[in-house]
Amino acid sequence: MADTASGSAQIVIVGASLAGATAAEALRAEGWTGGVLLIGSEQSLPYERPPLSKDVLLAKKGTESAQLHDQQWYDDNKIDLRLGTTVTAIDPAAHSVTLDDGSQVSYSKLLIATGSRVRKLDVPGADLPGVRYLRTAEESQALTDAYAAKPRVVVVGAGWIGLEAASAARERGSEVTVVEPQSTALASVMGEEVGEVFADFQRQHGVQFRFGTGVEGFEGTDKVTGVRLSGGEVLPADLVVVGVGVRPNTELAEEAGIEIATPDNGAGIVTGADLQTSAEDVYAAGDVARWDHPQYGRPVRVEHWQNAKDSGKTVAKAMLGEDVAYDSIPYFFTDQFDLGMEYAGDIPRGASYQVVFRGDPKSGAYMVFWLDDDHRVLAGMHVNLWDTGLDAVRELIRSGKQVDPARLADTSVELSDV
């Protein structure tokens, strides 16, 4: 039973992110009547990130469409939302946080939902106008406006953000080249075989690729005019979009003495299955949390939208004293041109796996599964198979049963019978 007693108790949420705002909403839904203080360093109302690299970049919607709620909603639900405010320190012993104006705020429970920030390239010319990143609502709007001129675009990084940025630029009439040091797109997350399917799909829509090469620097004086590749070749560019990953914002927690995972061990703030950190009454959720996953029996950190929503809901219950274990199967989706994809599962870093295609990728509608050495399903995805969805994939993952790869590939066999 959740402890919803109010008194003078206040739950403080550091990070007006999707995870943070979802947790605030869930606290009220669970009956918490005490104080809720939601602190965010951005000026924007809390928002979701997926639209920023999809409909907003395509100029179909404005950034306001990504907002979770309007200001009135926070007022009505008595959530003290402080935007443009940064927490500079956490004192777990005193149960307080320090704000950038020097004031201190006490908490009964604290949630760290500080999310992630983009990795930036440290090369000559990286600060030239026209070299852009895509993470915040402000950055999305700036990039959307820049696409209107149909510039020559070079995208650095062939991950999900890079491919979505590339597809939006092509749909809006730009010439697009993607530069990636790995052998193909999405190699580190999908593997080379599936990554090449996505690369071929993008090529069919006019996107060019330069694989196996890095970026040495950016050319230009007043603005970027080119991208210098390893080896010396310069690609002409009016606009550059850098998408080379993110890193979790763990500094506040680390400075407070809260346990942090090393980068080579997944990074993030270490928590148990209940999302509580090593500090009493301090929790973490969203991108920044690396939690003990009950389903997998190992720590997991996930940087996608669904995890922010699900962990925000779970951590609210945990902070109210409910006995919870966060066991959501990681999920993400992408939209590129006329392709829609949904993925569920998690492949351990460095793990060996077998890829099984169910259906022909050339048809534009198919599934892919990743199996471990014992033929158990680690992850699966569908492309443009909306009637099939992912429920059967999640069931296969949770069951842990061994499957027959040949039957899994056979579209005439029901997934429940593989």
Model pLDDT for residues 257-279, shown as the tens digit of each residue:
999 999 888 899 999 999 999 99
Domain boundaries, the chain: 10-117+247-319, 121-244, 338-417
Asked if residue 83 lies in contact with residue 44, where contact means CB atoms within 8 angstroms, the answer is: yes
- CB neighbour class for 64 (10 Å; exposed up to 12, middle 13-18, buried from 19): middle
Distance of CA 206 to the CA centre of its chain: 27
Q: Look up the CATH number of domain 10-117+247-319.
A: 3.50.50.60
Common-topology check for domains 10-117+247-319 and 121-244: yes
Instruction: Look up residue 317 and give its two tokens.
Output: 């219950």
Model's pTM, two decimal places?
Answer: 0.95
* CATH architecture type of domain 338-417: 2-Layer Sandwich (3.30)
| pLDDT one digit per residue (tens) for the chain, 418 residues | 345 555 569 999 999 999 999 999 999 999 999 999 999 999 999 999 999 999 999 999 999 999 999 999 999 999 999 999 999 999 999 999 999 999 999 999 999 999 999 999 999 999 999 999 999 999 999 999 999 999 999 999 999 999 999 999 999 999 999 999 999 999 999 999 999 999 999 999 999 999 999 999 999 999 999 999 999 999 999 999 999 999 999 999 999 999 999 988 889 999 999 999 999 999 999 999 999 999 999 999 999 999 999 999 999 999 999 999 999 999 999 999 999 999 999 999 889 999 999 999 999 999 999 999 999 999 999 999 998 879 999 999 999 999 999 999 999 999 999 9
pLDDT of res. 1: 37
CATH number of 121-244: 3.50.50.60
